[in-house]
Structure 1
Amino acid sequence: MLRTPTGGAGHGTADAGDRLVSIGTVLNQLREEFPEVTISKIRFLEAEGLVEPQRTASGYRKFSPQDVERLALILRMQRDHYLPLKVIREHLEALERGEQIQLPAQSAGPQGEAAAAATPWEPEPDRPTAARIGRAELLAAAEVGEEELAEWESYGLIVPAADGGYDAETVTVAKLVADLGRFGLEPRHLRAVKAAADREAGLVEQIVAPLRRHRNPQTRAHAEATTKELAALSVRLHAALVQTALGVRFH
């Protein structure tokens, strides 16, 4: 049963200052129910405006019991109902207005875990498999020749799958590399970009690895959504850093 959050965005205060706790304490309190939660996740939810802790004069976050309760509610809606942040925000706002909300059927939690343990999880049979294209199709999509593609592969910018095909993201990479090449950027110039992408992918993998190993099958399934969310944030951060760096250099 959902509890109405009494803290959160715009309400990061507590009746007694001695009840405020640090982000590390919040992490320890939440991990009993959410073993996969991280400090980065809590900071992300704050950055999205879903929770707003107090700040000390030194800039340290201080969370009230209402903030912790609100975070737990957010994490339950993500874990048990797979709701995107936009929908979660709308639900929280409705609860704050005293309205009732309708959530999808819950299948996690103690009862859901028991059911999951009794019934082995299997992938959805009708889930589509990502389509692959051949080398000729990739050359046509990127509008380049065999020599250029071979050079991209030699620098690790393009990597075929085990079956020799290429997925949709590889097609996107090929088109972008081709477009950059028209500005004089050669594959050797893009090695640093590829190395940075590999490092970012490694960071994402560190965060989602505990989700994929979790005993709850729904938590393992949630790893895919978390991976996409982290990847999108990483892309936004990279774009913002490039824009900031260009702004500093040209102003």
Structure 2
Amino acid sequence: MSPQPARKQVDGRPTTLSIGQVIDLLRPDFPDVTISKVRFLENEGLVTPERTASGYRRFSGSDIDRLRFILAAQRDRYLPLKVIRTELAQLDAGVADGSTSTLPIGGRGESVPGSEPGDFRPAKATRLSAEMVAAESETTVAFVEQLVEAGLIVPGRAGYYEAEAAIIAKTAHELSEHGVEIRHLRSFRTAASRQADVISSIASPVAGRKDPDAKDRAAELVREVAALSVTLHSTLVTVNVRRELDR
């Protein structure tokens, strides 16, 4: 009797995986991924795993690749699903190769520090000290402390900072080189807080609904509204500055 053909493997596992196995596979890179999240993405039509005769989901290697792409786009570029859906359609059509999946939304040129999320995200530490923020942002601890006093960077209860603190410090430092003082940045903080309040008021009712996808839908709504608000804000600033210069 001829030998049975070996089953194909995906990352050392059988060719198709259950949803629980997929979560175990993705969690090292995406600690917040849940079964509910994957089901939500399936309901949105972004991933279509096979179903067994008894109705269980079975994910192929390509399904897992799509999930990685989606989760990375949400985490690293904060993209809403409608933008990710377009990118996936381009990948499926062979129009794109997925090489932009690690670039932040509105990425600045490759020669500019901060053009990729990895420029500031520490490799291992999830909590940054003031010294680490200063090192990541190529500034000084004194400058970081000034940002804290101005309310632009807020430490957690244990006194540590999130990775975004380094991005804020780096950007604030670059602005200071153009004559923008920290006291001027308080208006940016105030505007951001007001926008966050508006977005939260829109998303909170969605998150409070009694359905398993409520929190994921709320998070998606936040991404979409936040992306639109950034576009609106930058456009309004551009228009107003142009008018001032044309006077």
TM-score for both structures, normalised by structure 1: 0.49
CA distance in 2, matches of 1:134, 1:250: 41
Q: Given the superposition, is the C-alpha separation of residues 172 and 240 from structure 1 closer, same or farther in structure 2, using an over 3 Å criterion?
A: same
Aligned residue among 152, 155, 160 for 2:155: 160
Over residues 227-251 of structure 1, what are the superposed CA-to-partner deviations in whole Å (9 max), with x where a residue is unaligned?
A: 1221111111111011111121223
Q: Write the letter of the residue equivalent to 1:131.
A: T
CA distance in 2, matches of 1:135, 1:82: 43
- Is 1:140 the counterpart of 2:135? The answer is yes
Aligned residue among 169, 174, 190 for 2:185: 190
The Cα of 1:149 is off from its aligned counterpart by: 1.4
RMSD between aligned residues: 2.9
Q: Given the superposition, is the C-alpha separation of residues 130 and 236 from structure 1 closer, same or farther in structure 2, using an over 3 Å criterion?
A: farther
Q: Write the letter of the residue equivalent to 1:192.
A: S
CA distance in 2, matches of 1:130, 1:203: 32
Aligned residue among 192, 216, 220 for 1:221: 216
* 1:1-251 matches, cutoff 5 A: 80-81=43-44, 83=46, 84-86=81-83, 131-251=126-246
Please tell me whether the aligned partners of residues 132 and 168 of structure 1 are also in contact (alpha carbons under 8 angstroms): yes
Over residues 83-116 of structure 1, what are the superposed CA-to-partner deviations in whole Å (9 max), with x where a residue is unaligned?
A: 52247679xxxxxxxxxxxxxxxxxxxxxxxxxx
Q: Given the superposition, is the C-alpha separation of residues 79 and 156 from structure 1 closer, same or farther in structure 2, using an over 3 Å criterion?
A: farther
Gap regions ≥5 residues in structure 1:
1-76, 91-128
Q: Given the superposition, is the C-alpha separation of residues 144 and 81 from structure 1 closer, same or farther in structure 2, using an over 3 Å criterion?
A: same
CA distance in 2, matches of 1:157, 1:135: 13
Aligned length: 139
Q: SS in structure 2 opposite 1:217?
A: coil
Over residues 159-207 of structure 1, what are the superposed CA-to-partner deviations in whole Å (9 max), with x where a residue is unaligned?
A: 1122322222222111111111111211111111110100000000000
TM-score for both structures, normalised by structure 2: 0.50
Structure with greater helix percent = 1
Please tell me whether the aligned partners of residues 139 and 146 of structure 1 are also in contact (alpha carbons under 8 angstroms): yes
Q: Given the superposition, is the C-alpha separation of residues 82 and 223 from structure 1 closer, same or farther in structure 2, using an over 3 Å criterion?
A: farther
Q: Percent of pairs identical after alignment?
A: 31
